[in-house]
Amino acid sequence: MLVEALRPLLGKLDDKVVIVTGASSGIGRETALLFGKLGARVALVARRRKLLEAVAEEVRAAGGRALVAPADVGDARAARAAVASVRRAWRRIDVLVNNAGVLKPGPVANLTEAALDAMLRVNLYGPLFMTQAALPTLLRHPGGSIVNVASLAGRRGLTPLGGYCASKFALVGLSEALRTEYDAAVLHVGLVLPGVVETPMVHDGDSAVDIGDWPAELNMPAEWVAVAIALAVRFRLREVAVPPGAALLEELGALVPGVGDALIGWVSAAGRLFRRARGGHS
């Protein structure tokens, strides 16, 4: 297992206070469990209390301490209340992981105001509200970290993720600006940029989507992203792509946009061929 293989590298976070948003499933759940294994006190933030309670039990079983703080991070008042509950319980905050996310796919021509607003509310305003609420406490103990989970789609736009890309591009810009506002010794601001991850977000409800003809069998485990988040905190990394090197397409696209577009087209075509081949053997 990746976590066990890298455990010596990740170090220990004994009694550090870590807030993880979107902690009820997917990347957030795996991140909370990993920080629990590293000995941290983990505050779990998401909308659904029942799911958070189940994750809290897993964190405790993994060796950490857990606090459930249900909140809709896209609501500024709820975000402040969640952070206040952590502060009352544990008196400090060392790490904030802004992971909560919403995906509502569709072509730009059909993008509705409601869909875009829903994504911006969670993907952009959520990290903003949680950061603003946590900053005063974080800054009392220099050396804290804020890690924002953006996406490779926050560096390169592609269909059918136009609105999602817009929200994640905005989060990248917000994170980079925040990083320039504080000395790195006082506050570390990191970005984690995953590719396509095997989480409920890409399968459930109105966000279920075959992203750019990408075969679902090639989706990354959420554990990979959790490890990237922990490494970003441990080594105060500014930006981590998951898998490593995956951001090369975005960098190439910035230099030569036409080549980036062509590569995305080739990946989509390869995905369609893969699906047909898979279907022929089913």
Catalytic residues: 164
What is the sign, positive or negative, of the torsion defined by CA atoms of 271, 272, 277, 280?
positive
Label residue 126 left, alpha or beta by phi (over 0 means left) and psi (-120 to 50 means alpha).
Answer: alpha
Q: Which residue has the tokens 């904030």?
A: 96
Which whole-number Å values give the CA distances from 27 to 15, 17, 52, 222, in the listed order?
22, 18, 13, 5
Please check whether residue 64 is in contact with residue 31, taking contact to mean a CB–CB distance below 8 angstroms.
no
